[in-house]
Each structure stands twice: as structure tokens, then as C-alpha cells.
Amino acid sequence: MKVLILSVTAGYGHHAAARAVSDQLLARGAEVKTIDVYQVLSPAVKQTIDKGYRLTARRTPALYRKVYGLAEHPHSGWIDTSGINMIQLFNKLNAAKFQRVLRDFPADLLLCTHVFAAQLVNEMKKRGVLTIPALGIVTDYTLHPYWEDVPCLDWIVTASELLNLAAVKRGLNPSRLLPLGIPIQAKFSQTLNLKEAAALLRLDPKLPTVLIMGGSLGYADSRKIILQLAHSPQPLQILAVCGRNQKQYSQLMKLKAQLKDSCTLYPYGFTDYVDIMMSAADCLITKPGGLTVTEALAKKLPMLLVNPLPGHEERNAEFLVNNGVAVRITRTFPVDEALHSLFLNPQRLDMMRAMMHLLSHPDAAEKLADFVIELGCQNSSEAKELNEGD
């Protein structure tokens, strides 16, 4: 069976989800190819989407929030924005060009980890030039704008069954919804107790350990957070993952030498050992990116949420806080007070972990891969029966 996974470079999550599903499909004997749609169609557009998303979300959050809100509810403002979608127009103009990819890799099924890729596939299926099954994967705890505009995709994979009502209200047929969860790597569902993880990281298992993450690009203001935690009344071990933010990593290495003995800092750059860090930690402080919080849910790691990007990450924060698995840090409820409150309330920590057990789908990638393989077997069987009938 051949599976083509279509992703888009706009943050880390879409590619990470693609990799998680790809690993599971490969393990089941499928032939898998993953491509960035706009790298094929137009590298210039790819760069515009990636850099435009990052710069607008960080530099002009109010504008990005407004645009995102209008895309979510195009009929709610003084102007109807339902027909304004430049990416959709670009996809329509380039659908024929993308057919060459399918000729080079004649897939039996398509997976789309970004709605822009799903729009392209929807256009091709609408024209009748694409007939194979296609699935979309939503990588946040919300239904992003435009997922309701891809009716030709056969199924939409969502983060939770608790999002079904919101999806139906947005116009999706419930029969198309697969609430399997956001696909993550299998290592996050593997059991590793705190003492074992602490030993691997050379930490003191008796001291409270806090993990700070700012996404793959290290967006969180980790230095400010650490300085606030340094005044905590209890000794702390702080693991700070800076991702690819080399400037932040250098700052934290300097800060490490300046901190008092009661607060020990361990800065990291980009690392593949986040699963071990989550197993060693008592709490995660992070911006609420879809993949990061899904990994934390799988590890049953309570979360303090900081600096959400406008739009999808703010929706993630709402979902997690409203379902009792996270605390939102604000200007009037700073991180040191939130952490102190959490650590003094072990019953609440237990309740958060129990809710995480109910919400998490650590085997989402495995279940999705099983669904895809079973679908491929069904299609092969039906094709065989048709050939024998002829």
C-alpha cells in the first residue's frame, strides 16, 4: 500500500504529526512519502506562509487574532469574509500542477496534516481528477478555519471526541469525524517512572522538577519565567528547552551561573529527549502548541500555559483549562504563584492527571495507521472482486 502524506511548513506540529503517522505506517509495511505541498508548488509561497505566520503571530498578535476570528466566523462581522481566501485561489490555480506528484508516486491514500493541503486535495477531488480516499488531520484542540470547506475529503481526524459538537456546528457531517487524537511518537506512551528518568538526566529525584518549553523555535520568554521561579520558597530543578533559539540558549547558560543554589537550571537546545524530560518532571510550563500539549497529556504531566499564540493556541488553552488539565498563567496570576499553588495541592495534581488519562489519546498514530491499512485492504479486496466479476 502506498500512502502520500501532505504537510505544510507553518510551525512544528504539522510535520511532527506527519512523521508520527509515517513511522507507524512504515512499521506496518506501507510505502510512505511525505512532502511539503508548497515546496513542490512554489518555494516562494512556502517561505511566505511560514515566515508570515511566525512574524504576524508574534509581532502583531492583535491583527492575527482578528484575522483568525474572521476566518472562524466569516459571516459574523460587518463584512462577509467567506469568499476571501487567497490560499484557496492559489490551490485552484495549481491543482493541475500537483497531479505530477501523484503520477510520480501513485498513492492509494492521501493524508493531509494541514488544512491548506486539504484544500488542494479537495479541489482535485471536486474536479474528479483524484478518486482515492483522503483524510485530514487537525493538529490542535479546536477546528481550524476552512476545515468545513473541504467536503470532498472522506474523513477528518480530530484531537478529541469532545470537539465533535463544535465540528458539527461548523457544518461537518459527524460520520466524517474520526476523534482518534493528535498523532505523536510512540515513545511518549512508553512507561518510564520518575526515578528512572531522573537518573538518565542526572537529576535529584527527591527535588521538584519543572520543565519549560517554548516550542521548536523557543518562543517562550524562559529567562523571565526562570527568574520568577528563582524566588520560589522551595528548591527547584528547572529543565529549559530552547529549541533552535540559540540566543535564548546562550542567555540561559549565563543565567545558570547566576542563580542561587536552591534553583538549579539545566538549559537544552533542540533535543530528542523530551519524552524522558517529561517523565522526570512534576510540571510543564509551555506555550500551548498542539503537539507539545498532546505529548504532555500522554505523559500525564500537569501544565502551566504561558504566551499562547493568538488563534489556535488560545483555543488550545481554553480547551485544556476548561477540561481541568492545565492552568493559565496571566499577568495577575504569575508563574511562581501558580506553581506554588499547584505543588501545595496534591489532590488537584491527582485530579489533573486523572483528567489527562480520560482526555489523552497516546495511541492516536497507531490507531490511525491501523485504520489506513484496514481501509487499504478493503479497497484491494473490492477491486479484486470487481476484476473477477469482469
The Cβ of residue 219 has, within 10 Å, a number of other Cβ atoms equal to 21
Residues 132 and 231 in one domain: no
Residues 194 and 218 in one domain: yes
pLDDT at 47: 64
Residues 369 and 320 in one domain: no
Residues 320 and 378 in one domain: no
Q: pLDDT-based confidence at 219, cuts 50/70/90? A: low
Single-letter amino acid, residue 190? Q
Single-letter amino acid, residue 6? L
Report how far apart, in Å, the C-alpha atoms of 38 and of each of 91, 98, 252 are.
10, 10, 36
CA 122/CA 127 separation, integer angstroms? 9
CA 188/CA 296 separation, integer angstroms? 8
CA 158/CA 199 separation, integer angstroms? 36
Residues 264 and 123 in one domain: no
Residues 143 and 68 in one domain: yes
Which DSSP state fits 85? Answer: -
The number of folded domains in the chain is: 2
Range of the domain at 7: 2-184+363-389
Q: Which residue has the higher pLDDT, 167 or 63?
A: 167
CATH number at residue 54: 3.40.50.2000
**Contacts of 198 by beta carbon, 8 Å cutoff, 6+ apart:** 204, 205, 209, 280
Minimum mean pLDDT range among 44-48, 81-85, 156-160, 325-329: 81-85
**Contact by Cβ (8 Å): 201, 180:** no
Which DSSP state fits 308? Answer: P
Residues 273 and 132 in one domain: no
**Contacts of 20 by beta carbon, 8 Å cutoff, 6+ apart:** 183, 184, 185, 186, 364, 365
Residues 227 and 160 in one domain: no
Q: Are strands 303-305 and 236-241 parallel, antiparallel or unpaired?
A: unpaired
Task: Tell me which residue has cell 498542539.
Answer: 290
β-partners of residue 137 are 157
The Cβ of residue 106 has, within 10 Å, a number of other Cβ atoms equal to 9
For 227-230, the CB contacts below 8 A with 24+ separation are 227/255, 228/334, 228/335, 228/336, 229/263, 229/335, 229/336, 229/339, 230/259, 230/260, 230/263
Q: What percent of the chain has pLDDT over 90?
A: 60
pLDDT at 81: 46
CA 38/CA 44 separation, integer angstroms? 8
Q: pLDDT-based confidence at 287, cuts 50/70/90? A: very high
How confident is the model over 115-163, as pLDDT tens digits? 989 999 999 999 898 999 999 999 999 998 889 999 999 999 999 999 9
Residues 149 and 239 in one domain: no
Single-letter amino acid, residue 349? L
Residues 236 and 201 in one domain: yes
How confident is the model over 327-384, as pLDDT tens digits? 999 999 999 999 999 999 999 999 999 999 999 999 999 999 999 999 988 876 665 5
Q: Say what the pTM is.
A: 0.90
Task: Tell me which residue has cell 485530514.
Answer: 136
**Mean pLDDT for the chain?**
87
Report H helices in 281-363. Answer: 290-298, 312-322, 335-343, 346-359
Residues 274 and 319 in one domain: yes
Residues 345 and 287 in one domain: yes
